[in-house]
Amino acid sequence: DGESMESKFSVVASNDWPEHLAGMKLGQIVSRIREGGLEVKHLPERKKQLDDIGFDWGDPKRFIDVPFEKVMCALYAYYMIRGDTFVKSDFVMPDEQPWPTIFAGYELGAAVTRLRELQNFLEAYHPVKMSLLRMVDFSFFPELALPLDPNADEMNMEHLYVETFGHPLYHISTVPLGLPERMLADGPNGPPEKLSSWYNYEYVREFHEKPGALTDVADWMRDIGFYQLAEEHEQKYGQSHYRQLFLLKDKLDNKEISQEIWDQEIDRIKDEVMEEFENWRQRDTKTAQIVGGVGDGEFDYTINEDEYYYQTLELASSNSQDSSQFERPTMIPNDVIEESVAEFSLGTGDSSNE
């Protein structure tokens, strides 16, 4: 829909041009033909006439294979009569009042269905046409939308969710400090207009992972229905211990593995969980030593309640004595004259006291 120099070309009156065509916006008409706005390339006989004069059809990726302007006129009539644009796929414009007779017999339902299939195409190449459709409250159905690249893998509902609302692992209540700036600095890992290009689990890994836990985010995503996303996560980061136990138990029940192998795998998982927990505890202890605390760096959980109470009293008493030594005496400067202040009462009192 961007206007080029060609689209702005107008016929001028001169000896070289037919006089009756002077002022015709030829550039705009050619652009409308190339993009499929006018019903020319859609009809073989019209297309042939332009082919015979060597017409340049432009970029085929921008061509709409339904006559957009004709569809818009018919759709606007439908909108004014019915009050919506929920046109059934088999709807044909009637040859009766109050429908416009010029569109009688036109298969508007098929044309509207095709526009819904071209949603991604229209958003990418024809933003002005998208605005015209929104003016009549046109509704797209994402499940009907075809990919821009016909050879690309078909987008399932989970990936469509990610492109629409973002990855579910990014739905966190507290955004880690500095994360947005870090993401912008690192940049996307794909086309920036796609939300999935900005997803990187490493950004939120510390937020989601819990040391010593049997389950992980893949199990959570599977529980809420994101099976494909869970599989993709496990392919990159491995299965949780819970998932391994689940699959091992299934194999044991189906006699695909022996009891001996089951016992060995249970011992292995136990060792891995304990090792992970010990590594985390050692890390936490080192952190506590650095910040000068005990346990979690803030509280001392080894002290009992009574001892904590008496130590708190002793500390409070000590602070009180220390602070008294530094209290400044109340002194009145020599140049300040003290005067008595009349008593003041909020009571009604006698008028004579006023």
Q: What is the pLDDT of residues 89-118, one digit of tens each?
A: 999 999 999 999 999 999 999 999 999 999
pLDDT reported for residue 295: 45
204 Cβ contact list (under 8 Å, min separation 6) = 169, 170, 172, 176, 179
pLDDT tens digits, 24-33: 898 999 999 9
Residues 106, 77, 67, CA angle at the centre, nearest 5°? 45
- What dihedral angle (degrees, nearest 10) is formed by the CA atoms of 274, 275, 277, 279? 160
Please answer whether residues 191 and 197 qualify as being in contact, where contact means their C-beta atoms are separated by less than 8 angstroms: yes
pLDDT reported for residue 15: 65
64 closest CA partner among 91, 37, 85:
37
* Residue 304: both structure tokens together: 């009992």
Please answer whether residues 294 and 302 qualify as being in contact, where contact means their C-beta atoms are separated by less than 8 angstroms: yes
Single-letter amino acid code for the residue at 36: G
pLDDT reported for residue 289: 57
Please answer whether residues 22 and 13 qualify as being in contact, where contact means their C-beta atoms are separated by less than 8 angstroms: yes
pLDDT reported for residue 156: 80
* Phi and psi angles of residue 160, each rounded to the nearest 5 degrees, phi first: -65, -35
Helix (H) or strand (E) holding 73: helix 68-82
Cα–Cα distance, 26 to 90 (Å, whole number) = 36
Please answer whether residues 208 and 235 qualify as being in contact, where contact means their C-beta atoms are separated by less than 8 angstroms: no
* Residue 341: both structure tokens together: 């202040």
pLDDT reported for residue 61: 84
Taking 50 as the pLDDT cut, the residues of the chain under it are 1-2, 5, 291, 293-301, 323-330, 344, 351-354
122 closest CA partner among 50, 72, 55:
72
What global pTM score does this model have?
0.44
